[in-house]
């Protein structure tokens, strides 16, 4: 045996450490290699590489990739690089599913699946989750858990598996992500033509009499009854008291004159 402190033992431990480090640095998965034998998914594989999602998949321990065949990536056209990466990340489930597991997981209720996009910390409004419906009586259905995501995708087949590490499933179409998917175009409904109505005739105007005509109108012809409320009563008018006082002065003078005459007449008789 070599002494513990011998150079040979130290070198052996160094080589072992390097081998372990190299094994740890080697990706456990290789999604590009897994799809290389399936030409129907070459466009999907290229999009994984373009967006950088392939590298994220290769650094995971267990994933299930929901892939679509060539010709079904049209929904990505016109999207920004960030939005494309989000859509592709939503198609990577952080769990392992294959045909055996599907057959053992029938349920009447949808199951929530966590996707790779949920790990980014940018997911909002349930965009990072999927709803999987597997009743056992109909095809397995996947759909985004985000509100207003109405498009579903059905499971077509299992493409390839590396048990308990990597599973690639073909689905019918890309999953709809409501936060970036454009709203469906709705043609505007033309409103019926409005009926144009003829203008109503103007009301006949009453001629206004001239000043000369107003002067010729006699008071008797006026039909307007004078208001008695606005005029004070004759007994309450100040002018009536003055006229009464003025009329009583001649009467008093006459009375004094008559009394004086009778007094003088009586004195002459005596």
- Report the pLDDT value the prediction gives residue 136, as an integer from 0 to 100: 92
Q: Say whether pTM exceeds 0.85.
A: no
Give residue 23's pLDDT band: very low, low, confident or very high (50, 70, 90).
Answer: very low
Q: Interior CA angle at 57 toward 53 and 60, to 5°?
A: 145
Give residue 212's pLDDT band: very low, low, confident or very high (50, 70, 90).
Answer: very low
Give residue 122's pLDDT band: very low, low, confident or very high (50, 70, 90).
Answer: confident
DSSP 36-104: TT-GGGHHHHHHHHHHTHHHHHHT-SSEEEEE--TT--GGGTT--HHHHHHHHHHTEESS---HHHHHT
Return all residues near 37 (Cβ < 8 A) that are at least 6 apart. Answer: 160
Query: Comparing C-alpha atoms, which of 55, 51, 123 is closest to residue 84?
Result: 51
Residue 267: pLDDT over 60 = yes
Whole-angstrom Cα distance, residue 102 to residue 140? 8
Give residue 208's pLDDT band: very low, low, confident or very high (50, 70, 90).
Answer: low
Where in 163-241 does DSSP place strands (E)? 166-171
- Report the pLDDT value the prediction gives residue 85, as an integer from 0 to 100: 95
Strands of the 63-67 sheet, one edge to the other = 92-93, 63-67, 166-171, 153-162, 141-144, 129-133, 111-114
Question: Torsion-angle region of residue 71: left (phi > 0), alpha (psi -120 to 50) or beta?
Answer: left
From 58-62, 167-171, 182-186, 195-199, the region with the lowest mean pLDDT = 182-186
The predicted model gives 70-90 an average pLDDT of 93
- Report the pLDDT value the prediction gives residue 237, as an integer from 0 to 100: 43
Of 101 and 194, the structure prediction assigns the larger pLDDT to 101
Q: How far is CA 178 from CA 121, 151, 199, in A?
A: 18, 9, 52
- Report the pLDDT value the prediction gives residue 50, as an integer from 0 to 100: 97
Q: Please answer whether residues 58 and 31 qualify as being in contact, where contact means their C-beta atoms are separated by less than 8 angstroms.
A: yes
The predicted model gives 101-118 an average pLDDT of 94
Residue 121: pLDDT over 60 = yes
Of 235 and 5, the structure prediction assigns the larger pLDDT to 5
The predicted model gives 74-80 an average pLDDT of 91
pLDDT tens-digit readout, 228-237: 444 444 444 4
Give residue 172's pLDDT band: very low, low, confident or very high (50, 70, 90).
Answer: very high
- Report the pLDDT value the prediction gives residue 3, as an integer from 0 to 100: 52
At residue 256, the 3 state secondary structure works out as helix
Give residue 43's pLDDT band: very low, low, confident or very high (50, 70, 90).
Answer: very high
The predicted model gives 82-97 an average pLDDT of 96
- How many residues does the structure list for the chain? 270
Residue 246: pLDDT over 60 = no
CB atoms within 10 A of CB 219: 7
Beta bridge partners of 131: 112, 143
Residue 249: pLDDT over 80 = no
- Report the pLDDT value the prediction gives residue 139, as an integer from 0 to 100: 94
């Amino acid at each position: 045996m070599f002494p513990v402190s011998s150079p040979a033992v130290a070198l052996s431990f160094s080589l072992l450490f390097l081998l372990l480090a190299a094994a740890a640095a080697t990706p456990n998965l290789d999604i590009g290699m897994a799809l290389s034998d399936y030409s129907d998914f070459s466009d999907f594989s290229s999009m994984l590489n373009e967006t950088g999602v392939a590298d994220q998949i290769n650094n995971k321990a267990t994933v299930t990739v929901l892939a679509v065949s060539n010709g079904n990536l049209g929904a990505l056209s016109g999207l920004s690089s960030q939005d494309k990466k989000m859509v592709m990340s939503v198609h990577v489930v952080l769990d392992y599913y294959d045909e055996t597991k599907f057959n053992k997981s029938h349920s009447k209720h949808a199951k929530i699946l966590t996707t790779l996009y949920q790990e980014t910390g940018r997911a909002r409004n349930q965009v990072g989750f999927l709803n999987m419906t597997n009743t056992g009586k109909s095809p397995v259905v996947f759909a985004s858990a985000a509100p207003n995501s109405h498009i579903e995708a059905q499971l077509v087949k299992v493409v390839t598996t590396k048990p308990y590490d990597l599973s690639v499933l073909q689905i019918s179409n890309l999953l709809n992500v409501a936060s970036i998917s454009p709203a469906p175009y709705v043609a505007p409904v033309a409103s019926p033509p409005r009926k144009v109505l003829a203008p109503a005739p103007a009301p006949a105007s009453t001629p206004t009499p001239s000043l000369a005509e107003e002067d010729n109108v006699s008071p008797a012809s006026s039909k307007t009854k004078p208001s008695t409320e606005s005029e004070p009563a004759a007994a309450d008018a100040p002018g009536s008291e003055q006229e009464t006082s003025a009329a009583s002065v001649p009467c008093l003078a006459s009375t004094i004159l008559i009394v004086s005459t009778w007094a003088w007449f009586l004195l002459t008789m005596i």
